[in-house]
Structure 1
Amino acid sequence: MSQLTQTLSLTRDHGIENSVTTSIQLQPLPQSEIQQRDIHHHDASDRELIDVDPVLEASRVADSDVPEGGYAWVVIFASAIVSFWFTGNGNYSWGVIQNALLEQKLASAATLSFIGSLSPTIMAVLAIINARVIHWLGIRQSAMIGILLLGVAQLTSGFTVYSVAGQFITRGVGVGLGMSLCFMVTSIIAAQYFKRKRGLANGIISAGGGLGAAVVTYVLDALIQRFGIPWAYRIIGIVTLVTGLPAAWIMKERTAIQTVSFIEWRLFKDPKFIFIFVAGAIATFPLLVPAFFLPFYSSSIGLSSSTGAALLSGFNFSSAVGRIAGGFLSDKFGPVNTLIISLVLSAISMLALWPASTTLIPLAIFAIINGALNGMYFATMPTAVGNIFGSARVSVALGMIVTGWGAGYLMGAPIAGYILDAHGGSETGLRAFRPAMFYAGSLAFGAAGFLMLMRYQMKSSLLAKL
């Protein structure tokens, strides 16, 4: 196979659209040629990583016999149920609990935002370690342990609702540990079964999470109103265990999960990896701000707590729709393009639409639009990583990228809370919220900029080879 043919055929695995690639028949290279490429890697420092990377070649071989259907869809829908619970119990429903804890004056908005931010932060920090755990235990056992941790954490959170430290441990750390395992298994499993429909499969799994966030948000508010915060926690924990464990048992890998090391340092020599790593690290600062503050904001403009919960539920339901749309758009237009579109439009919605939402109808429109774009971003990222860096490497590459999200998950919403408090708190109305909106929207634009740089670098590299 000529160098030009190899380059053209590899572009499809890297999310770059090129009309020439549609006529190229993908054929696995002989093992001897793969080994020869690896031997000469250190003598080819001026060449692209994709030209000398045996993992990408191995990924292409593995992708050539994926089932693209059949029992694979059963695994995908089981994964969607696991996603339902780790997202529903995670950061997207925290706004309802946060608002209830604010009303009972447990702590300030900034402190409570830290509790809610701790779970996704742990999910991010442990991503690299969990890639290795999944390699050791397999997808099924890892998913079952994750669901077990989630359910138990919610049950024990019901006994700590009057203790800030207790909430940090149970709702923060406990839920975070369960989320971290569940997130990784649901993020890498689609690459085991799909190539051509990988974006759609990831979209369905992620949509389960968006639907879970919508349902759990609505149910949590109803349970809090009827039974109080402690029993709301306990009931959700029990249902998580009863429905989540069977779904986790259905999940299994088709081939062994390949993990060569905790960190693959050579990826940091690839500009594409650096750009997507930095973009993801920045994007997590603003993207959770609306989910955390919608109920709080709605109360500040005179709406009831149930209305705020309904808005957050609408945000999450719209996120589920956006996740499926993101999967479809990834397969059609490329995952990098889809990531850029989601971030740019999300930034516009936070800078232009949210500040103008001073009554229920505009605020509901903002919740629907921003929720869809939020879900689109998170559903598309695993597809982008798998396509660019190879399905055989997706667990390590995604683990490294998600670990970079830790600071944004931990500080993104709390920074917005501090900005709010610094401008007089929610009692001063929209004037206090506007700086937080500007902070979130500006960072979303910044993240999109790094993805645009990555796309430009990928196209420039391809043109240089041609």
Structure 2
Amino acid sequence: MSRTTQITSLGRDHDLESSVTTSIQLQPLPQSEIQQRDTHRHETSDGELLEIDPVLEASRAADNDVPDGGYAWVVIFASAIVCFWFTGNGNYTWGVIQNALLEQKLASAATLSFIGSLSPTIMAALAIVNARVIRWLGIRVSAILGIVLLGVAQLTSGFSTHSVAGQFITRGVGVGLGMSLCFMVTSTIPAQYFSRKRGLANGIVSAGGGLGAAVLSYVLDALIQRFGVQWAYRIVGIMTLVTGLPAAWIMKERTTLPRVSFIEWRLFKDLKFVLIFVAGAIATFPLLVPAFFLPFYSTSIKLPSSTGAALLSGYNFSSAVGRILGGFCSDNLGPLNTLIISLILSAVSMLALWPASTTLIPLAFFAIINGASNGMYFATVPTAVGNIFGSARVSVALGMIVTGWGAGYLMVSTSISITVLESEADMRITGSPNRRLYIGRAWRIGCGSQGLSTGHVLRRFPRYGSDWLSNTYEISDKLVAFSQTLRWIR
């Protein structure tokens, strides 16, 4: 065979091999059935895989551009005015109206307390829904709608003071709808304008609510004494519309809120979120009882109704101070540390002070301490949620947490408390066994669980807390042990 023929044959063989080789193609891998998570994985220098939450990263990037001052303070003070009215018209002044309706013999104390509990329960139950409403309508329109609902509900309540069903619809459901919108708006807007001073901003907004409750406690009592409960409702409703609507108009978004899920179920896989959710659900069991029953309890120990209103006003004023203090502590000690401090103070005041408050002075001291600690708690929750889970997610995460408060508002804060009191043959007898049983044991279980749940967050996640609170378990255990030694617990 000639050399030319050999070269030609080799060339053909090479072409054949090339054609065979290039005809083999890799088939794409089948698509995984595992859904992609809303996180990205990043490999660190030491080879460790970290999951990066894009919403949290977007929140951190947005927090770098917040004004932390200037016009932001105008928005904050407008939010405080809105908070003034929805808190003042809500839970913290119901005790004054409840006393007046009891004197009119409209219904039993248990029924009236259930009416009062409807508004905070609806506020909590609709928190997730209103988080979506705010994203749909915007903060300004949502705030205006909330104030309109609140004012109209108060006005119509003035025409239904002789109807239990009317009070359920107007004072219970109507006020609850307005409160829910206003609460979500005022709780989420500070995160858009503040980062370094976010705790203080939330504290000022929340303090507006405490101040509103303190002022309206006096105002409602004076209006009821002078004009009756019907016109007290109507006058406060008109005042709400006249001053609340301009404040709501000032409130607006700084940036467009990113789209997030209606409910972020994966947050329940985060132990930090679960523990804050559980601690909040437990905390609301006892927190509103003093606000509802200070006037009722003061009457039972032979104090005049004006003294009960003054005690409630002092409770609310100290709550306003505690809210600002809570904001300051959140910025300097950390929001979770502040939550633990507030819960421990609330537990101690309920365990040690209220059972011994059979005269005016210890009862006033209890109202001051408990009001400040409870106000500190409510002012700190939005800051904790925004700092841990991101300002871009604060409306959804806060809505999910607040929804967990509904059971405590509806069940223990009102109905169970008054049922225990009414089971006595004479509610005027102080220091009754049932009162000691409920206040002692229920408070011990509830407040002790608060400390245990929240303390576990710091032990598992020390970067969100400080070393000096790492022994929260021991503090809670000692508190429970101390309460067991008190004679009034049987």
2:372 corresponds in structure 1 to 372
In terms of mean alpha carbon deviation, does 177-186 or 407-416 score higher? 407-416
Q: TM-score, normalised by structure 2?
A: 0.84
Q: Which letter does structure 2 place at the counterpart of 1:450?
A: S
* Cα separation, 2, equivalents of 1:387 and 1:139: 20
1:184–1:37 distance in 2 versus 1, CA, 3 Å: closer
1:445 corresponds in structure 2 to 448
* Cα separation, 2, equivalents of 1:262 and 1:441: 36
1:290–1:260 distance in 2 versus 1, CA, 3 Å: same
Q: Is 1:416 aligned to residue 417 of structure 2?
A: yes
Q: TM-score, normalised by structure 1?
A: 0.88
Q: Is the partner of 1:106 in helix, strand or coil?
A: coil
* CA RMSD between the two structures: 2.0
Cα pair 2:358 2:430 within 8 Å, conserved: no
1:324–1:460 distance in 2 versus 1, CA, 3 Å: closer
Kindly state the Cα deviation for residue 99 of structure 1 after the two structures are TM-superposed: 1.0
Cα pair 1:221 1:309 within 8 Å, conserved: yes
* Cα separation, 2, equivalents of 1:173 and 1:387: 32
Cα pair 1:85 1:244 within 8 Å, conserved: yes
Q: Is the partner of 1:93 in helix, strand or coil?
A: helix
1:52–1:88 distance in 2 versus 1, CA, 3 Å: same
Kindly state the Cα deviation for residue 425 of structure 1 after the two structures are TM-superposed: 5.3
1:70–1:100 distance in 2 versus 1, CA, 3 Å: same
1:28 corresponds in structure 2 to none
* Cα separation, 2, equivalents of 1:456 and 1:392: 27
1:29 corresponds in structure 2 to none
* Cα separation, 2, equivalents of 1:157 and 1:67: 41
Kindly state the Cα deviation for residue 39 of structure 1 after the two structures are TM-superposed: 4.5
1:8 corresponds in structure 2 to none
1:435 to 434, 437, 443: 437
Kindly state the Cα deviation for residue 428 of structure 1 after the two structures are TM-superposed: 2.5
Alignment of 1:17-416 (within 5 A): 38-40=39-41, 51-412=51-412, 413-416=414-417
* Cα separation, 2, equivalents of 1:60 and 1:332: 19
Kindly state the Cα deviation for residue 457 of structure 1 after the two structures are TM-superposed: 1.6
Identity level (%)? 75
Alignment deviations for residues 208-230 of structure 1 (CA, whole Å, 9 cap, x no partner): 00000001111000000100010
Q: Which letter does structure 1 place at the counterpart of 2:454?
A: L
* Cα separation, 1, equivalents of 2:371 and 2:361: 15
Alignment deviations for residues 183-216 of structure 1 (CA, whole Å, 9 cap, x no partner): 0000000000000000000000000000000011
Q: How many residues end up aligned between the 2 structures?
A: 423
* Cα separation, 1, equivalents of 2:254 and 2:444: 41
Cα pair 1:117 1:172 within 8 Å, conserved: yes
Structure showing greater radius of gyration is 2
Alignment deviations for residues 403-430 of structure 1 (CA, whole Å, 9 cap, x no partner): 1111111112211111222344522322
Name structure 1 gaps, 5 residues minimum. Answer: 1-34, 42-46
Q: Which letter does structure 1 place at the counterpart of 2:116?
A: G
Higher relative contact order (CA closer than 8 Å, sequence separation 6+): 1
* Cα separation, 1, equivalents of 2:286 and 2:170: 25
In terms of mean alpha carbon deviation, does 429-438 or 60-69 score higher? 429-438
1:425–1:411 distance in 2 versus 1, CA, 3 Å: farther
Name structure 2 gaps, 5 residues minimum. Answer: 1-35, 43-47, 467-490
Kindly state the Cα deviation for residue 285 of structure 1 after the two structures are TM-superposed: 0.9
Kindly state the Cα deviation for residue 380 of structure 1 after the two structures are TM-superposed: 0.3
